A and B are shown apart, each in its own frame.
Chain A
Amino acid sequence: MEILEIIKLSTSAVRRNKTRSFLTILGVIIGVFAVISLVSLGTGLRNYITDRFESLGSNNLYVIPGNGDEEGGGINRMQAMSGIGSKLKPSLVDDIKKIGMPIVEVIGELEIPGVVKYRNKRLTATIIGASSEIFTLDNLEIDQGRFFNRSDVGGDRKVAVVGSEVVNKLFEGKDPIGEELIMFDCRFKIIGTLKSRGGGAMGAMADRVTLIPITVAQELSDNNNLQTIMIKISDKNRMDEAKYKVKSQLLKTLKEEDFSVVSQESILSTISSILGVLTTALGCIAAISLLVGGIGIMNIMLVSVTERTREIGIRKAVGATNRNILAQFLTEAVFLSLVGGLIGVFLGYLGTLAVGRLLNANAFSWWSILLALGVSLLVGVIFGVAPAAKAAKLDPVEALRYE
């Protein structure tokens, strides 16, 4: 029997039972859709973060509290980056500045989640205390007004530069320059606004910031210690040298477990590896639903073989070999799972586009689509073999007698 005939036969059986076939493949559709969407979520997140970091410029070093050195592993690092129990005193900024070349710029930063009020409106935002150098170091761009400068910082002036999201939410088209914001029960005069750092849900978060002079932030928050010290290096190739120098300098006043000096690249690779594990884990969980879909196919195929016992008997009586019957039912199972896989890929692709839109980053990955299709094909074969073998082994005399 030719392959084409077998395919024709199997597909016509599937088409005859449209509702049942659809419900059978629903499990595979959901499984494939879940695998592709979740993997694309992981991929998109990773690409988004990579883009973000690269836009900050690549020759920065960061001093963060706690010991989250490369050997310490990702989770330690994440904890350290949250800045709980920091021992980084503001004076360390000047200590590091004294090192000189290759260090060109050092700034301390204090990040406080807080509420920003304007007249009767309130908004939760990240309030960042920093010195004026942050604008060049962090590649920030001004939209209106100006950045704060050294004299603003030195004079403890209560001025603020606000992110685009804050402008949108609080001012709704009004000119915010010169207006007054209330943070920590103090009035701040808005002197500038920032350009948006990119679209998408994550971008909106990055735009929901208010920058104020570090001196003011220290005064107003209970925490006098810094969360991050950013260091700009003159030359990317002198990164290791700078790292060593900073470390030796800090060891004079701090213990080894109190701080870490990390490069942007190593932070990126940490986040990237965490997201990689997350993506794999999500993919595996989704793959379980694909497995369940396969079991659904097997179940229906077993029912179908029992229902069609007489048909199998007739076919055998007129000359179908065991192999013909096996091929017919196996093809049917594979066809079901493959159609389910294709629909799942299509939906998954839409999901990928949605994720990409949300993150404003490329979330598409070929491997997840190929994997999902391959696995659904495999599911069809694995879960189709048992019912097909059962059909092929039926005794023709018994099968013809079956009511």
Chain B
Amino acid sequence: MVNLELRNVSKFYQMDGIIVKALDNISLKIENGDFVSIIGPSGSGKSTLMHILGLLDKPSLGKVFLEGEEVSFRDDSKLAFLRNKKIGFVFQAFNLLSRTSALENVELPLIYARISAKERRSKAICALEEVGLEHRLSHFPNQLSGGERQRVAIARALVNNPSIILADEPTGNLDSKAGAEILRIFKELNRKKHTIVLVTHDLEIAKAALKIVRVKDGKLE
């Protein structure tokens, strides 16, 4: 079953009066249970692609379908709702809230999902257990190693049981050992039927995925 689909998607930016084509007529299907790597050099448009896949940005042309429903032109609050329920993000820079404990960071999506405090707590603890951080619940991000921070971010992406997890260069700020550990977690999650899209410029990392999609100059190859 198709989870996320882009149909003839293009994205233009206007920069100093010049129109820049970041994505050019891209069509892409991501099936349930897929583990797809999107690989391309910097400036190829892979980040823009991820933002559109993650409903953080809207395409200039074309359509986006999430679980068969067209979502490309929904209003901001509907997109926020879908991001909350259906999508989990993992970023290169971790993007955890500073001076906020690991547990509270993982609880964040659940707050916006209007889940009760008690249920939030138990769900967040479960998610942190899944990434092996049950002993770091009350640590602040600056008390954690890079690899641990990224695992908190993965727990946050997982906690609302999304239909797809999008990871943008998740190993980019990590040493090779921590990076390998993160990739191992992604593989493990995929084995548990989570759908994962991994965006990277590094072919070695992309190889962790089952499928590799190449982007160059805003086009799929």
Q: Contact residues of A with B, CB < 8 Å?
A: 1-2, 5, 9, 16, 310-311, 313-324, 396-397, 400
Known contacts A1-B112, A2-B114; is A317 also within 8 Å of B76 by CB? Answer: no
A selection of 14 A-B contacts at a CB cut-off of 8 Å is A1-B114, A5-B111, A314-B95, A314-B97, A318-B83, A318-B112, A318-B156, A319-B80, A319-B112, A319-B160, A321-B80, A322-B80, A324-B112, A400-B56
Tell me how far the C-beta of B132 lies from the nearest C-beta in chain A, rounded to whole angstroms.
22
Contact A397 B85 (CB under 8 A): no
Known: A319-B113, A397-B57. 11 other contacts (CB 8 A): A9-B111, A310-B95, A314-B96, A316-B80, A317-B95, A318-B89, A319-B83, A319-B109, A321-B76, A321-B81, A322-B77
Contact A318 B108 (CB under 8 A): yes
Tell me how far the C-beta of A21 lies from the nearest C-beta in chain B, rounded to whole angstroms.
15
- Interface code B98-113, partner A: CB below 8 Å = 1, 0 otherwise? 0100000000110111
Closest to A318 in B: B109
Q: CA–CA, A322 to B79, complex, Å?
A: 11
**Nearest 10 A/B pairs, CB to CB:** A319-B84, A319-B112, A318-B109, A321-B80, A321-B77, A396-B56, A314-B95, A319-B83, A320-B112, A397-B51
Between A314, A318, A321, the greatest number of chain B beta carbons within 10 A of the residue's beta carbon is seen for A318
Q: CA–CA, A318 to B162, complex, Å?
A: 11
Closest to B95 in A: A314
Residues in B with CB closer than 8 Å to A320 are 80, 112
Number of A-B contacts (CB under 8 A): 61
Interface residues on chain B, number (Cβ under 8 Å): 25
Closest to B85 in A: A319
Residues in B with CB closer than 8 Å to A319 are 80-81, 83-85, 109, 112-113, 160
Contact B56 A397 (CB under 8 A): yes
Tell me how far the C-beta of B171 lies from the nearest C-beta in chain A, rounded to whole angstroms.
18
Q: CA–CA, A321 to B78, complex, Å?
A: 8
Residues in B with CB closer than 8 Å to A397 are 51, 56-57
Q: CA–CA, A9 to B108, complex, Å?
A: 11
Q: Is the C-beta of B65 less than 8 angstroms from some C-beta in chain A?
A: no
Contact B108 A315 (CB under 8 A): yes
Known contacts A315-B108, A317-B56, A397-B57; is A322 also within 8 Å of B113 by CB? Answer: no
Contact B95 A400 (CB under 8 A): yes
Contact A318 B84 (CB under 8 A): yes
Q: CA–CA, A1 to B77, complex, Å?
A: 13
Between A1, A9, A322, A397, the greatest number of chain B beta carbons within 10 A of the residue's beta carbon is seen for A397
Tell me how far the C-beta of A394 lies from the nearest C-beta in chain B, rounded to whole angstroms.
11
For chain A, what secondary structure do more than half of its interface residues adopt (helix, strand, loop), or is it mixed?
helix
Q: CA–CA, A317 to B90, complex, Å?
A: 10
- Pick from A5, A311, A396: contact of B97, CB below 8 A: A311
- Pick from A1, A314, A321, A396: contact of B111, CB below 8 A: A1
Contact B77 A323 (CB under 8 A): yes
Residues in A with CB closer than 8 Å to B111 are 1, 5, 9
B22-64 CB contacts (< 8 Å) to partner A: 51, 54, 56-57
Q: CA–CA, A322 to B51, complex, Å?
A: 18
Q: CA–CA, A321 to B85, complex, Å?
A: 13
Closest to B54 in A: A317
Closest to B99 in A: A16
Tell me how far the C-beta of A309 lies from the nearest C-beta in chain B, rounded to whole angstroms.
12
Q: CA–CA, A138 to B212, complex, Å?
A: 105
Q: CA–CA, A323 to B112, complex, Å?
A: 11
Tell me how far the C-beta of A323 lies from the nearest C-beta in chain B, rounded to whole angstroms.
7
Tell me how far the C-beta of B15 lies from the nearest C-beta in chain A, rounded to whole angstroms.
14
Q: CA–CA, A2 to B54, complex, Å?
A: 25
Q: CA–CA, A314 to B108, complex, Å?
A: 10
Residues in A with CB closer than 8 Å to B89 are 317-318
Q: CA–CA, A313 to B57, complex, Å?
A: 12
Closest to A310 in B: B95
Residues in B with CB closer than 8 Å to A313 are 95
Residues in A with CB closer than 8 Å to B99 are 16
Closest to A1 in B: B112
Tell me how far the C-beta of B119 lies from the nearest C-beta in chain A, rounded to whole angstroms.
13
Closest to A403 in B: B93
B119-162 CB contacts (< 8 Å) to partner A: 156, 160
Tell me how far the C-beta of B46 lies from the nearest C-beta in chain A, rounded to whole angstroms.
14
Q: CA–CA, A32 to B56, complex, Å?
A: 44
Q: CA–CA, A1 to B210, complex, Å?
A: 38
Residues in B with CB closer than 8 Å to A321 are 76-77, 80-81, 112
Q: CA–CA, A33 to B35, complex, Å?
A: 63
Contact A400 B91 (CB under 8 A): yes
Between B80, B84, B109, B113, the greatest number of chain A beta carbons within 10 A of the residue's beta carbon is seen for B80
Residues in A with CB closer than 8 Å to B108 are 314-315, 318
Residues in A with CB closer than 8 Å to B97 are 311, 314
Residues in A with CB closer than 8 Å to B57 are 396-397
Residues in B with CB closer than 8 Å to A323 are 77
Residues in A with CB closer than 8 Å to B85 are 319
Residues in B with CB closer than 8 Å to A314 are 95-97, 108
Residues in A with CB closer than 8 Å to B109 are 318-319
Closest to A308 in B: B97
- Pick from B77, B83, B113, B160: contact of A317, CB below 8 A: B83
Closest to B104 in A: A12
Residues in B with CB closer than 8 Å to A311 are 97
Closest to B120 in A: A5
Tell me how far the C-beta of A4 lies from the nearest C-beta in chain B, rounded to whole angstroms.
9
